[in-house]
Structure 1
Amino acid sequence: MKVVLFCGGMGTRMREYSQTIPKSLVHVGQRPIIWHLMRNFAHFGYTDFILCLGYKGEMIREYFLKYNPMLSGDCRLEKGVARLHADGTDVCDWNIDFVDTGLHTNIGGRLVAVRHLLKDEPVFLANYSDQLSDLDIHQYVAKAQEIGKVASFVSVRPPGSFHSVNAEANGTVNYVGPWADNKLWINGGYMLLRQAIFDYMEPGDELVEAPFQRLIQQQQLYSYRYEGFWKAMDTYKDKLSFDEDYDRGRRPWEYWNKT
């Protein structure tokens, strides 16, 4: 099963980094966030990736084409030969298609641009490439396959310090509190799509807008609710939060390091 990764956006809310590198190359610890995401998929056996490139896509190509695990992983030089301290799946075991899908193309357009690489895939995974989770991908895929809808996505409780507000039509407030306490769920970016998704798309469509509305009308959209760890890198503040978690050893998405 192939994994489509949308990594062509301009990351306008990450200007501290995105003026020089694409958001998917912003580091969490010693490696880019997209590496952590792909490593997580690979842990569950999904090692065939399609990268939908756009803004500064050449930098993403260069990172993987010149990838050297010795530069970011713990290693030892033994009589002139470099050896990693830890064994395990790494980029050398992955298959990656790099596809230029346009600078200003939306997510739907990027998916259509790689459709030719999915023609033999009755079902495939897709992801926004800017979030990490300790989601058990095997369990999610199994459940979504069992439900059998055209499209499925993981919904999560939004983290953060913002407060949600409920108010009557006249403005009288009846609730103010954390987002998570208001039974609010958002799209967590992990999607399982069938080939039929393309039948619900029209030129120019953004994936989760018009196509998902058409799926809803046909009862062909499924949401897998997940209350475990999930965090997106949307702003510079999110980057700092990831750095703090990483430095303190709070890395629940690293299934490959769990016993």
Structure 2
Amino acid sequence: MKMIILAGGQKSTISGESEGMPKPMLSIGGRPLLWHIMKHASLCGIKEFIVCGGYKIDSIKDYFLDFYIYQSDIQVDTGSNTVKILDKNTEDWVVTVVDTGIKTMPVERIKKVLDIAGEEFLISYGDCLSDISLERLQDVHRTEEKSITVAVARPSGRKMPLHFMREEAEWMSSDKAWTSAGVFMAGKEAFAGECCGGDIEDMLSQSSTAVYRHEGFFNTIETLRDKAAAEKLWDKGIAPWMGIV
């Protein structure tokens, strides 16, 4: 099973970060947000990733090209220009980074990598942290036999309730509402033909959709406050998305 990570949008607008940095490369506890998303997935057994890049994709490529160095302690002999790895601290991941364009919408990014994604795959936005059980998400998807399954969580802040545009559906009060948690499982057929080319959520009223309700931790890193909250948890040794509570 592979996970597609959407990491090609415009630069982060969170103040205090390096100018022009893609949002998935924002630092949480000294590691990119992208690493945190992948680490959570790997704890659920996912080891293969397709990163759909775009804006400043070189920063993502450079990170993975030097991934071994970033993860390990090193000794550099400046005279002989040699590097010695003092410990082996890396991940057993296979990461494919694909340039899917700068202004490309999420659905179109996914379509660009369908030929390498497999018949079924997971999808994650590049700015969401959660402790969603990807195993349970897969179980729901296969039990419901729908073309796409969306993980939903309780909304907070600016997050809007998810509305499936079904005739019988009504807007729910905020204490009962759910919002997309930015994680999905889909079959290749969900993106076949002339499906919409915008956000994945736009597809949910047009596709055969199942829902996995997640009651645990969920947050998106949209503001400096969101980032600070995640870093505060990390500094305390608490990281629900890593199973550390």
TM-score (norm 1): 0.78
Letter in 2 for 1:43: L
- Tell me, yes or no, if structure 1 residue 226 matches structure 2 residue 214: yes
In 2, the alpha carbon distance for the partners of 1:36 and 1:163 equals: 24
Provide the residue aligned with 2:114 in structure 1.
115
Provide the residue aligned with 1:96 in structure 2.
95
Gaps of 5+ in 1: 165-178
Contact 1:155/1:187 (CA < 8 Å) preserved in 2? yes
Alignment match of 2:86 (pick from 82, 85, 93):
82
Contact 1:151/1:194 (CA < 8 Å) preserved in 2? yes
In 1, the alpha carbon distance for the partners of 2:160 and 2:122 equals: 32
Provide the residue aligned with 1:212 in structure 2.
204
Provide the residue aligned with 2:150 in structure 1.
153
Q: Give the deviation of 1:81 after TM superposition.
A: 5.5
Provide the residue aligned with 1:6 in structure 2.
6
In 1, the alpha carbon distance for the partners of 2:119 and 2:115 equals: 13
- Tell me, yes or no, if structure 1 residue 182 matches structure 2 residue 182: no
The structure with more helix, counted as a fraction of residues: 1
Q: 1:237–1:204: structure 2 CA closer, same or farther, 3 Å change rule?
A: same
Contact 1:24/1:130 (CA < 8 Å) preserved in 2? yes
Alignment match of 1:193 (pick from 182, 186, 210):
186
Alignment match of 1:130 (pick from 107, 127, 145):
127
Contact 1:154/1:225 (CA < 8 Å) preserved in 2? yes
* Equivalent pairs, count: 227
* SS of alignment partner, residue 5 of structure 1: strand
Q: 1:105–1:15: structure 2 CA closer, same or farther, 3 Å change rule?
A: farther
Provide the residue aligned with 1:17 in structure 2.
17
Q: 1:180–1:18: structure 2 CA closer, same or farther, 3 Å change rule?
A: farther
Percent identity reads: 27
What whole-Å deviation, never above 9, does each CA across 1:142-181 have from its counterpart, x for those lacking one? 12211111000110002349999xxxxxxxxxxxxxx995
- Tell me, yes or no, if structure 1 residue 143 matches structure 2 residue 131: no
What whole-Å deviation, never above 9, does each CA across 1:97-128 have from its counterpart, x for those lacking one? 1110001001011011112212xx22110000
Q: Give the deviation of 1:68 after TM superposition.
A: 3.2
Contact 1:28/1:242 (CA < 8 Å) preserved in 2? yes
* SS of alignment partner, residue 52 of structure 1: strand
Contact 1:200/1:214 (CA < 8 Å) preserved in 2? no
Q: Alignment RMSD, CA only?
A: 2.8
Letter in 2 for 1:251: A
In 2, the alpha carbon distance for the partners of 1:253 and 1:238 equals: 14
TM-score (norm 2): 0.82
Alignment match of 1:237 (pick from 216, 220, 225):
225
Contact 2:159/2:179 (CA < 8 Å) preserved in 1? no
Provide the residue aligned with 2:34 in structure 1.
34
In 1, the alpha carbon distance for the partners of 2:242 and 2:26 equals: 17
Contact 2:106/2:197 (CA < 8 Å) preserved in 1? no
Q: Give the deviation of 1:199 after TM superposition.
A: 2.8
